Chain A
Amino acid sequence: MDAFTTHTGTAAPLRRSAVDTDQIIPAEYLKRITRTGFEDGLFVAWRTNEPDFVLNKPEYADASILVAGPDFGTGSSREHANWALLDGGFRVVISPRFADIFRNNSTKSGLLTVVLPAEDVAALQDACEADPALPVTVDLEAREVRWADRTVGFEIDDYTRWRLLEGLDDIGLTERHLADIDAYEAQRPSWKPTTTPV
């Protein structure tokens, strides 16, 4: 996973609520067995069917920050949704509220999800609609989003922030505790099932 410290880019306003993972990337685009190349499925139905869709507008072609309505990422556990956003050039999604699995996946894939109050999200959407070239900075070290003369703080727990800043992968961290896992396994009840064919 790439480390995330601070990112400055332009932002695209996605004024929709409850954007589900089937909209972010439909199931038929999940058949690829590689880890990259999912940008072709990103919001493909809206990009295909709605000429006015925000990501069809040339002024947002280089946007790297998506500013969405509440409940972004509901539905499936597909991490492909995070990969599609990354492959499509996004490093950050800002929303008043995220679905749990999407948000958790984002901490594993290096896509930063930032929760801001609804009024700040609306203000940022207005600002990048008025000026699509407006630079927006997402500063993970300072836990701040900055644009024009505004600075809005956001919350993220220290542990997740540290992992993202360092770009650390969880498996390596867990492998430091193999002795604890061994000890736990030694006391598991014998009646717990195994999948070994009977």
Chain B
Amino acid sequence: MGRTLAQKVYEQHVVRRTEGEPDLLYIDLHLVHEVTSPQAFDGLRAAGRTVRRPDLTMSTEDHNVPTTDLLAPIADPVSRAQVEALRKNTAEFGIRQAPMGTRDQGIVHVIGPQLGLTQPGMTIVCGDSHTSTHGAFGALAFGIGTSEVEHVLATQTLPQRPAKQMSVRVDGELPAGVSAKDIILAVIAEIGTNGGQGHVVEYRGTAIEALSMESRMTICNMSIEAGARAGLIAPDETTFEYLRGREHSPQGAEWDAAVAAWRELRTDDDAEFDREVVIDAASLTPYVTWGTNPGQGLPISGAVPDPADFADETDRRAAEDALAYMGLTAGTPMREIPVDTVFLGSCTNGRIEDLRVAAELLRGRKVAADTRMLVVPGSIGVKQQAEAEGLDAVFTAAGAEWRGAGCSMCLGMNPDQLQPGERSASTSNRNFQGRQGKGGRTHLVSPAVAAATALTGKLTAPADLQEVSA
């Protein structure tokens, strides 16, 4: 029987296989940030261990970093201590580190691809669940906890068991104004936040093949929101073009050898998946979430659902709790929901393409009077590129705030937070209770919906703007 792409990558990394034990899997790249690593470094020191492959390890500071006053010391002493611990630990163990304000700093999942460190067929881990982002390159990439961070630092391997295989096929052409974010929100709404549990998801089909690398990253990024262990997409010419000439991409004859190997990374025609989901791209519209998990989403043309309509008691209770927390009434059209804050950024939608889409809608227009819009590039590299293209001027002219790079309001570990009761339209990945600040209410949206929403102050599809101006 044939094998899937994920199975091929997995098998290529098995260091040791013994009956009755997990496989030992080699890790090609370990990304490290300040939140999930300090206890791992302490563990190494306590046991007298070293980092086996500092040259396969990259670190940056992203979760805690402020997005203003980048060159000043971090004001919050606890955040500062965590960032300083990372700097001390990486210096002690000889790990490359990109500090705040430098070119390579940014969200780990943005800088890996930016530097060309993320390549097809690799195994990539990080103490962060959105490591699945790197699957966009045909890598097997997944999030791990701090004990496993320590394990990878010490041994460059992880005990693993093969996952179940799931195919999400999206065929057809996306309508105008509908993006990768809408695809993945629709997928999660369809299969639920546990739909991918125990599985690695391969996204396939003509609509996926037509996507840019940035859009593929948006889709793979949210695999974890469907409960999947990882998500990935077969590498193709789009992947190779993205990688060609990047700082850590192979060069010369090595490039040719690498591309030849990468072309083999495809699911065999006779491979079997444990579960298959099919989505028609042409049927998709902009998606927004109404509740407090990413599966509670629907087309923006819809209305807040009535909990009584859920057949399953667990779903009904979850919907009741969500509506109470979100301050929403069943039957309210989504388009009538006002928002206080629009957040454009995160490892889901903080790349250059995301900023371009939003800037195009904002160009020559103004953010609504009672709405604030934060634009937080995913990395300093993205920030510099956006500034070279003049996007920062578009955002600031529209009245949006142009910030430094980091995770920012996606999870509010820095000062960028919602106030209790405030409502956001956010291009990030989680609408959990309090995620963006205590009592904050989050609607997940695409960059285009975020920009359109900023202009009207209510959840708005980009197509609605054309109707207004026509």
Q: A residues within 8 Å of B by Cβ?
A: 16-18, 20, 22-23, 26-28, 30-35, 45, 69-71, 74-80, 82, 97, 99-101, 104-105, 108-109, 158-159, 170-171, 173-175, 177-178, 180-181, 184-185, 188-198
* A residues near B159, Cβ cutoff 8 Å: 170, 173-174
Q: Find the A residue at minimum CB distance from B143.
A: A77
Q: Within B182-239, which residues are at the interface with A (CB < 8 Å)?
A: 193-194, 197-198, 224, 227, 229
Determine whether the beta carbon of B128 is less than 8 Å from that of A27: no
A180 to B317, CA, bound (A): 51
Q: Within B85-129, which residues are at the interface with A (CB < 8 Å)?
A: 85, 96, 116-117, 119, 122, 127-129
Show 15 A/B contacts (Cβ-Cβ < 8 Å), sorted by A: A22-B432, A27-B412, A31-B64, A31-B78, A35-B42, A74-B193, A75-B129, A101-B224, A108-B145, A175-B155, A181-B15, A181-B24, A181-B155, A191-B255, A193-B248
Determine whether the beta carbon of A193 is less than 8 Å from that of B117: yes
Instruction: Pick from A26, A99, A173 the residue with the most CB of B within 10 Å.
Output: A26
Determine whether the beta carbon of B81 is less than 8 Å from that of A33: yes
Give the A-B pair count, Cβ closer than 8 A: 193
A104 to B142, CA, bound (A): 12
Q: Within B139-171, which residues are at the interface with A (CB < 8 Å)?
A: 143-148, 150-151, 154-157, 159
A69 to B127, CA, bound (A): 26
Asked if A99 meets B155 with Cβ closer than 8 Å, knowing A35-B42, A191-B257, A195-B117, the reply is no
CB distance from A50 to the nearest CB of B (A): 11
A173 to B363, CA, bound (A): 58
Instruction: Pick from B54, B321, B430 the residue with the most CB of A within 10 Å.
Output: B430
CB distance from B54 to the nearest CB of A (A): 8
11 more contacts with CB within 8 A, not counting A79-B146, A193-B29, are A16-B321, A27-B63, A31-B35, A31-B64, A77-B128, A79-B145, A101-B129, A174-B157, A181-B52, A189-B261, A195-B96
CB distance from B188 to the nearest CB of A (A): 11
Q: Find the A residue at minimum CB distance from B196.
A: A100
CB distance from A49 to the nearest CB of B (A): 8
* A residues near B329, Cβ cutoff 8 Å: none
* A residues near B24, Cβ cutoff 8 Å: 174, 177, 180-181
